[in-house]
Amino acid sequence: MELLPFLFFLTVFIFLLLGFPVSFTLGGVSFIFGILIFGPHYFNLLPLRIWGIMSNYILLAVPLFIFMGVMLEKSGIAEDLLETMALLFGKLKGGLAISVLIVGAILGASTGIVGATVVTMGVLSLPIMLKRGYDSKSASGIIMASGTLGQIIPPSIVLVMLGSVLNVPVGDLFIAAVIPGILLVFLFFVWIVIQTIIRPKDLPAMPSDELKKFKGKVKLKRILNAFILPFVLVIAVLGSIFAGIASPTEAAAIGALGASVLTMFKRRFNLPTLKAVMLKTTSITSMVFMILVGAAAFGLVFRGLHGDRYLAELILAADFEPYQFLAVAMLVIFICGFFIDFIEITFIVVPIIAPIFHSFNIDILWLGILIAMNLQTSFLTPPFGFSIFYLKGVAPKEVTTIQLYKGVIPYVIIQLIALLLVITIPKLALWLPEFLGS
């Protein structure tokens, strides 16, 4: 019986490597295992879980932000924005990748929802990067990594849930996450620079003939047309959240409306454009939610096979010192992130380990940031990193799943390095709350 969770995991992994669709693989294999082992009545709970996903108010932001991204794409604004930012860094190799990092961080901070951010950035930037000669692994890697920044840069849904589970004020978690979030952006930037040195052909600079045109009044006009207005849109989305005027879901509606207004301003808004945007939004949204439904079935069967219990027993059976237990807990959360989504980890694993950390007198605010950074990594870890699935759903056909896996591995390593830095230097998470509280 103890081998069944691992057999289940291996079966899903094999079907994914064979190229079967992610959502149907997760749901189909889970359904077959569930029927064979538990019988059909076991899935009586599944409709309730699916209904919980479909009626989740926070997830309503997903189609709204997808609409915003697709509208910006169809209007040409998104391409202008990314290419103009790349032209600003035009003399540097990797300028477009740096632009994606900046835009991805801004979108991530405005949504707090990885699926919406990765899909939006994938729709906006991946075709442009491939068009400019970028290596598909490098291009997809920075998109997936920048899309996960919204999980640590406040406002973050992960931090909100962790605050409730750990009984830590969410506002304190938001403040504590600022420096770790900036640290991750900086480390991603450093990796882009390193890539331009060791593999310059993978991240080419903008064509010299385009850079020659980008001078004087032409430069200023292009910045105003392509950068300023979309930037105002993102600021409006972020500002409405930080000012307490709107929730992330309501801010997504502001973004969708604002993107439509900008398209009108560019004189590209018409009925065919609106129809195309709505069709693509519906298609991508369906893909995202089918993945979530498949993940729900997967999690249901995995827990039915007591996979979560075996992990918990592994933690509780050992007698560790505080930092030894911290290392084990971080490792278990990291491993869980390979095949369980962050919501299930938050509500299954974290409540098990939190009382033990309380008994060790470990700072729970610091612990919350460590767990959040670890959970953020779970979106990138193959084979079931959801950022990989989301990007695969909107990527061109020539971009394979294996290429996405290879592209994301360096950023998983970078996130682990950042996690180790915050573990060894707790002040990275605790200094700002202490400073503002003094």
- The predicted model gives 395-412 an average pLDDT of 86
Burial of 316 (0-12, 13-18, 19+ CB in 10 A): exposed
| CA pair distance 214, 220, nearest whole angstrom | 9
Residues 6+ apart with CB under 8 A from 430: 176, 363, 365, 366
User: In the chain, what is the greatest distance between 2 CA atoms, to the nearest angstrom?
Assistant: 71
Residue 407: pLDDT over 80? yes
Query: How far apart are the C-alpha atoms of 73 and 268, rounded to whole Å?
Result: 11
- pLDDT band for position 214 (50/70/90)? low
Cis, bond preceding 383 (omega within 30 deg of 0): yes
User: What pLDDT, on the 0 to 100 scale, is given for residue 438?
Assistant: 47
Mean pLDDT in residue range 371-383: 86
Cα–Cα dist 17/398, whole Å: 16
| Three-class secondary structure assignment of 336-358 | HCCCCCHHHHHHHCHHHHHHHHH
State the average pLDDT over residues 237-246. 71
Instruction: Give the residue from 254, 252, 258, 296 showing the smallest Cα distance to 155.
Output: 252
The reported pLDDT for the residue numbered 116 is 66
Is there a contact between 329 and 353 (Cβ–Cβ < 8 Å)?
yes
Q: Which residue, among 86, 79, 157, 80, has the nearest Cα to 116 in the 3D structure? A: 157
What mean pLDDT, rounded, does the chain reach?
A: 79
pTM: 0.71
HSE (side-chain half, CA atoms, 13 Å) at 413 = 8
Question: What are the sequence ranges of the domains in the chain?
Answer: 4-437
Q: How far apart are the first and last CA of the chain?
A: 54
Most confident of 75-84, 264-273, 351-360, 384-393: 264-273
Task: Give the mean model confidence (pLDDT) for residues 407-411.
Answer: 91
Among the ranges given (136-145, 215-224, 233-242), the one the predictor scored with the smallest mean pLDDT: 215-224
Q: What is the mean pLDDT of residues 79-108?
A: 75
- The pLDDT tens digits of the residues spanning 302-318 come to 777 777 667 656 656 76
- pLDDT tens for residues 129-186? 887 788 888 889 998 998 888 788 876 777 877 887 788 877 788 888 889 999 999 9
Q: What is the pLDDT of residues 169-182, one digit of tens each?
A: 777 888 888 899 99
Q: How confident is the model at residue 426 (pLDDT cuts 50, 70, 90)?
A: very high
Q: Which of 61-75, 238-252, 352-366 has the lowest mean pLDDT?
A: 238-252
Concatenated DSSP letters of 189-256: HHHHHHHHHH-GGGSPPPPHHHHHHS-HHHHHHHHIIIIIHHHHHHHHHHHHHHTTS--HHHHHHHHH
| pLDDT over 60 (residue 429) | yes
Q: Reply yes or no on whether the pLDDT at 217 is more than 60.
A: no
pLDDT at 122 over 70: yes
